[in-house]
Amino acid sequence: MQIRQPIVAVLGHVDSGKTSLLDKIRGTGVQAREAGGITQHIGASFLPTETLKKVCGPLFAKMGGANQEIPGLLVIDTPGHEIFTNLRARGGSAADIAILVVDVNRGFQPQTNESLKILQSRKVPFVIALNKVDMVSGWKKNPTTKFITQSVKEQDPFVQTALDELLYNVVGTLSVLGYNSEAFYRVKDFLKEVAIVPVSARSGEGMPELLAVLVGLTQQYMQKKLEQAEKPTRGIVLEVKEEIGLGMTANIILIDGTLRKGDSILVAKRDSVIITKPKAILLPKPLDEMRDPRDKFRPVNEVDAAAGIKIASPDLEGVLPGSPVYATTDESKIEEFKKLIESEMKSVFIKTDTKGVILKCDTIGSLEALTEMLKKQNVTISMADIGPVTRRDVMEALAVKEHDRHLGVIIAFNVKVLQDAQEEAESNHIKIFHDQVIYSLIDNYTNWVQDDTANAENAIFQELTPVAKFTFLKGYVFRKNNPAVFGVQVDAGVLKQKVSVMNKAGRKVGTIHQLQDNGKNVDVAKKGQEVAVSIQNVTVGRQISEEEVFYSFPPSPEAKLLLKTFSHKLSPEEFQVLREIIEIQRKVNPLYAY
């Protein structure tokens, strides 16, 4: 059997010590490089079998590594859950196994939960690295051993008890989430229990056991998945960027097969699949030769999976992170691979006539992860795409909101909201949920739906344009235009920022940009208050004049709602002003508020 090395992803909360753990894994390999070396790949560290043997010591053979040897481990070493969401592959993940890093003193934290949800949805087995054991109160460091089992035996009994309690906090959390777990030295069946390995990324204690458990699990349970006979050459794009001297490059994790320089490579852009031949396939040099970053890559003619590589080609601009890569020398296979990529892309992007939420993400991987999670919550999606939130997205959400206010929203992960989209959303009360943590984005949305449902009447009323009548005060012109700033007195109702304003003839004058009371910005001004207002694109003396009376200008559907559904929430005076607004508008538009 020809077996490739397993791809190991490392996940965890931002302060759990993920990066330190990766540094320690790499560092351990550097210390052992005379026994076989460690090669630093793009976004991944390759630990060959010889290095693993040296680090794990007698545990390597004990965990089954000596039977049918796996050719090392490829540890994905780009921190951040975003990269893991990009390690997507059809039907699951490009990662074969994962290390979930948990801070021993803090237990599960928001991003730990998010990481676990992604592992669950992608069906990736994992090991818990219970990090920072050297921070447990009373812990004595043992400079002579890196084996955690030995270190634990040498601790005072109260420290052993404290560690066990912290460990069982994690066991309890995992149990609630549906997993059986145990300290690795008490695990009876690695297929049925998640192994928890106490480690210290700082001292290196526990590293031999952590790597040995990974070797054992992949060795015993993943041979079929790792077997390379008859597998096409395929990979996943991690990121695409322009590099000095190389032009457009793509960092790729090669999952299966062998990539050769003469191969035709198929990759996905937003609306097409392109076929390119790499100008260069690049591997970084081993770690001890990486001191000069300008000299860290070496061109190769071929590379075997699994590997982190960089390819250079001018055609790569616009290639999507998280998208699949196929390569072949067989021209007859090109069409088959092209159809595979196209169908995969179609399954990720959603555009339907169904009434649902609008989803915008930064990469295919995060889009797919969020789509899966929303579907599990039974949330309908009308559009899922990558890129910033645009005004068009807001207009689509507005159309949905007319049918269902809880679906007429935009869920945006790690993308910008364009200025005109923000303004349109504010004026139409379209909610944009925006976050950089997937799980909190979903939670924020579902919590809002619950609260909004519980207070539906108030929530809808709060979004409607408030009824207001106000007078331009004589002698209070602070600025004639760009924007016009002038003093007003609120005669009735409530005046708010971002509200459209009309004159007595029913013509829209503009939108109130800001309200100020004694030089301070205020959101609202009530009856009797004198405040300064600013309105863009009008000039005092032309479109508006001193002593003129103005009204708030609710769109026709809102005026109808105020009149027929929410009249009980208006004071008699506000109701009278609403009647005036409707009467004025019906002279211009007879169907207003009908």
Catalytic residue annotation:
81
CA dihedral 105, 111, 112, 116 (to 10 degrees): 170
The three-state DSSP-derived secondary structure of 514-566 is: EEEECCEEECEEECCCEEEEEECCCCECCCECCCCEEEECCCHHHHHHHHHCC
C-alpha 442/C-alpha 357 separation (Å) is 12
- Scored b (16 or more CB within 10 A) or e, 427-453 reads eebbbbbbbebbbbbbebbeeebeeee
Instruction: Answer yes or no: are the C-beta atoms of 412 and 385 closer than 8 Å.
Output: no
Instruction: Answer yes or no: are the C-beta atoms of 363 and 386 closer than 8 Å.
Output: yes
Instruction: Answer yes or no: are the C-beta atoms of 248 and 315 closer than 8 Å.
Output: yes
- Scored b (16 or more CB within 10 A) or e, 93-128 reads bbbbbbbbbbbbeebbbebbbbbbbbbebbebbbbb
Q: The tokens 């081993």 sit on which residue?
A: 286
Judged by DSSP in three states, 410 sits in strand
Letter for the amino acid at 354? T
Orientation of helix 331-348 relative to helix 364-376, angle to 10°: 50
- Token pair, residue 234, equals 């395929």
C-alpha 110/C-alpha 14 separation (Å) is 9
CA of residue 445 relative to chain centroid, distance: 15
- Token pair, residue 536, equals 């863009």
Q: Strand ranges (DSSP E) for 225-356?
A: 233-243, 247-256, 258-260, 264-268, 273-276, 280-284, 297-300, 302-304, 307-312, 324-328, 350-351
C-alpha 544/C-alpha 509 separation (Å) is 8
CA dihedral 368, 369, 372, 378 (to 10 degrees): -120
DSSP 227: B
Q: Which residues contact 122 (CB under 8 A, 6 or more apart)?
A: 88, 92, 93, 95
Strands 92-93 and 88-89: antiparallel
* Listed residue (412, 357, 407) closest to 387, CA to CA: 412
Judged by DSSP in three states, 139 sits in coil
CA distances from 167 to 89, 107, 122, 209, 274 (A): 33, 9, 26, 16, 50
Instruction: Answer yes or no: are the C-beta atoms of 395 and 389 closer than 8 Å.
Output: no
Per DSSP, helices labelled H in 327-363 are 331-348
Burial class from Cβ neighbours inside 10 Å (0-12, 13-18, 19+) for residue 232 reads middle
CA distances from 376 to 59, 168, 316, 371, 448 (A): 41, 29, 34, 9, 17
Orientation of helix 364-376 relative to helix 438-454, angle to 10°: 40
